[in-house]
């Protein structure tokens, strides 16, 4: 029995899959319906885009599209496509090329041949119309190098979604005392690809609510897009002030989009308040997740690092051959202090290079009495080209001196980024103004080094 030939649609889907993965694949190029919408050629090669619009894209989802091209008169060699997207359209490229897309067969487009380039696009449902891709095409012909820009309209699947795009955990949210402050995490599960995910407490009961980074809402740790089947969490701070012991119900609302449809999902959670001594209590002295304040980089003016300087930002993930070098989230979802949070166009573009980078926190005033402690999360990551000359140091600087609370040094091995938590007793600094000092370095031979500090919470507690 002869195998059934691929339909046009099936053939294009296989081509997209192979292009996206950088996989070699031999197949007859399917004939595609479509009209010439732009004659983009110059010189002796006339390159033509073979489609009038993209397939219908469901906003909020990652969609791989195959863009067909042809050329007349002469070959177009070293063929590359990049795209400057319109507002609200995110563009990605195949893994094997990373920053551009080439042709499916090779990097040469021959006369009268139809070949394809692949792009991954994600459309924000709130992006303005018209939605277009401004596609930059570069190639070399017999008359030299050429670069042109063509416009490809993006078609939108605006079908209405009915149901829930995500689920939130139910039951007990957590326990706290009647004079306490606690960050609780709300578990999330993507039922559909959802975008612009925001959580709010719509009925807080007797609690005072604070969201990360002084926003009026909380977001998932991994970003405002929650993909189908992915688990995530969002942090919200609850505070009590002489609340009677017992169980209280709070209402948490998630708002988001599935495609073009605005959706709301609501859940009720319980918080158990435990009776504490009437004269006991606690106070938050510094909470970086609520307000990081003004961190100063290079405070002593002697930093030497050329890249990877500390900044307060929402980090973007970077990795190298399966080893995560910079995590794309903080435990609370609030900005952290990162050795440059941007990912850049390639791994290591913004890691620490050529020396030391330092930063110091705002002043934190400590009371003269009580139990004072600092809780925080951090990581130090590097690849196998690291050595003991590379380091992360976290210190407390006060009027009575300096105490180093974290010191990590590099080793000739791959160490992936992973958040670790630590609690430090600050009672020796009672009655003083303190600051948190950070230093990270890539010294001696060049290596890939990343570091981060997040979710710093300085509190004082006392017993009656």
Tens-digit pLDDT profile for residues 233-255? 999 999 998 889 999 999 999 99
pTM passes above 0.85: no
Residue 246's Cα: distance from chain center in Å?
Answer: 38
pLDDT for residue 219:
92
pLDDT for residue 97:
83
Q: What share of the chain has pLDDT > 90, as a percent?
A: 73
pLDDT for residue 39:
38
Asked if 253 contacts 340 with a C-beta cutoff of 8 angstroms, the reply is: no
What domains, with CATH codes, occur in the chain?
8-153 (2.60.40.1230), 166-276 (2.60.40.10), 287-462 (2.60.120.260)
Q: Which two tokens stand for residue 96?
A: 């094997």
Tens digit of each residue's pLDDT (9 = 90 or more) over 369-397:
899 999 999 999 999 999 999 999 999 99
pLDDT for residue 177:
87
Please compute the mean of the pLDDT values over residues 156-179 and round it to a whole number: 94
- DSSP collapsed to 3 states, 190-209: ECCCEEEEEEEEEECCCCEE
Task: Say if residue 361 is exposed, middle or buried (CB neighbours under 10 Å; 0-12, 13-18, 19+).
Answer: buried
Among 115-129, 265-279, 283-297, which is the least confidently predicted range?
Answer: 265-279
Q: Which two tokens stand for residue 243?
A: 């609340």
pLDDT for residue 179:
82
Indicate the helix (H) or strand (E) that contains 18. Answer: helix 8-21
Binned at pLDDT 50, 70 and 90, residue 1 comes out as very low
Please compute the mean of the pLDDT values over residues 102-130 and round it to a whole number: 92
Asked if 152 contacts 207 with a C-beta cutoff of 8 angstroms, the reply is: no
Asked if 43 contacts 86 with a C-beta cutoff of 8 angstroms, the reply is: no
Tens digit of each residue's pLDDT (9 = 90 or more) over 61-98:
999 999 999 999 999 999 999 987 778 898 888 878 87
pLDDT for residue 6:
34
The answer for residues whose C-beta is within 8 angstroms of residue 337's C-beta and 6 or more apart is: 288, 292, 295, 310, 311, 312, 359, 438, 452, 453, 454
| Helix/strand/coil for 120 | strand
Asked if 378 contacts 336 with a C-beta cutoff of 8 angstroms, the reply is: no
Output b/e per residue, 74-102; b: 16+ Cβ within 10 A.
bbbbebbbbbebbeebebbbbeebeebbb
Asked if 310 contacts 357 with a C-beta cutoff of 8 angstroms, the reply is: yes
Residue 102 is classified by DSSP as -
pLDDT for residue 278:
54
Tens digit of each residue's pLDDT (9 = 90 or more) over 205-230:
999 999 998 889 999 988 899 999 99
pLDDT for residue 277:
60
Asked if 207 contacts 182 with a C-beta cutoff of 8 angstroms, the reply is: no
Binned at pLDDT 50, 70 and 90, residue 10 comes out as very low
| Helix/strand/coil for 297 | strand
pLDDT for residue 411:
94
Indicate the helix (H) or strand (E) that contains 319. Answer: strand 318-320
pLDDT for residue 335:
94
- Adjacent-strand bridge partners of 72: 46
pLDDT for residue 248:
97
Tens digit of each residue's pLDDT (9 = 90 or more) over 16-56:
554 444 433 322 232 232 333 333 434 578 999 999 999 99
Pairwise CA distance, residues 56 & 45, whole Å = 31
pLDDT for residue 156:
95
First-last CA distance in the chain: 87
Among 2-11, 48-57, 111-120, which is the least confidently predicted range?
Answer: 2-11
Other CB atoms within 10 A of residue 181 CB: 20
Instruction: Decide if pLDDT at 339 tops 80.
Output: yes
Residue keyed to tokens 């630590």: 422
Output the CA torsion 213→214→217→223 (10° steps): -20
Instruction: Decide if pLDDT at 8 tops 80.
Output: no
Instruction: Decide if pLDDT at 427 tops 90.
Output: yes
Instruction: Decide if pLDDT at 169 tops 80.
Output: yes
Output b/e per residue, 325-346; b: 16+ Cβ within 10 A.
bbbbbbbbbbbbbbbbbebeee
Other CB atoms within 10 A of residue 462 CB: 16
């Amino acid at each position: 029995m002869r195998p059934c030939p691929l339909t046009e649609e099936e053939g294009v889907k296989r081509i997209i899959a192979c292009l996206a993965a950088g996989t070699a694949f031999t197949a007859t190029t399917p004939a595609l319906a479509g009209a010439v919408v732009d004659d983009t050629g110059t010189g002796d090669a006339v390159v033509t885009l073979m489609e009038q619009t993209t397939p219908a894209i469901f906003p909020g989802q990652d969609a791989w599209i195959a863009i067909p091209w042809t050329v007349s008169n002469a070959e177009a060699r070293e063929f590359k496509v990049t795209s400057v997207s319109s507002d609200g359209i995110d563009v990605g490229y195949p893994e094997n090329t990373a920053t551009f897309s080439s042709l499916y067969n090779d990097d040469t487009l021959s006369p009268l041949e139809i070949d394809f380039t692949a792009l991954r696009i994600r459309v924000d449902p709130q992006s303005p119309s018209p939605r277009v891709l401004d596609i930059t095409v570069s190639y070399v012909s017999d008359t030299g190098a050429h670069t042109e820009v063509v416009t490809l309209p993006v078609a939108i699947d605006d079908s209405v979604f009915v149901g829930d795009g995500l689920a939130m955990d139910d039951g007990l949210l957590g326990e706290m005392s009647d004079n306490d402050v606690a960050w609780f995490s709300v578990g999330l599960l993507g039922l559909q690809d959802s975008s612009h995910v925001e959580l709010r407490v719509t009925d807080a009961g007797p609690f005072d609510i604070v969201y990360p980074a002084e926003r009026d809402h909380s977001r998932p740790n991994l970003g405002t897009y929650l993909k189908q089947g992915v688990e995530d969490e969002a942090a919200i701070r609850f505070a009590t002030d002489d609340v009677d012991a017992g169980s209280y119900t709070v209402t948490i609302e998630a708002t988001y989009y599935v495609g073009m449809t605005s959706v709301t999902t609501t859940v009720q959670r319980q918080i158990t308040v435990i009776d504490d001594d009437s004269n006991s209590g606690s106070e938050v002295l510094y909470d970086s997740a609520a307000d990081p304040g003004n961190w100063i980089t290079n405070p002593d003016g002697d930093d030497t690092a050329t890249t990877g300087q500390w900044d307060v930002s929402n980090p973007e993930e970077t990795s190298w051959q399966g080893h995560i070098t910079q995590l794309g989230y903080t435990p609370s979802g609030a900005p952290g202090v990162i050795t440059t949070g941007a990912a850049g166009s390639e791994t290591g573009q913004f890691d620490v290079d050529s020396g030391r980078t330092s930063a110091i926190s705002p002043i934190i005033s400590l009371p003269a009495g009580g139990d004072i402690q600092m809780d925080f999360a951090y990581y130090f990551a590097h690849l196998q080209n690291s050595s003991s000359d590379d380091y992360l140091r976290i210190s407390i600087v006060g009027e009575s001196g300096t105490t180093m609370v974290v010191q990590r040094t590099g080793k000739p091995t791959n160490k992936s980024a992973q958040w670790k938590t630590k609690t430090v007793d600050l009672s020796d600094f009672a009655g003083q103004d303190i600051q948190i000092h950070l230093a990270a370095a890539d010294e001696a031979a060049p290596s890939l080094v990343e570091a981060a500090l997040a979710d710093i919470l300085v509190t004082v507690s006392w017993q009656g």
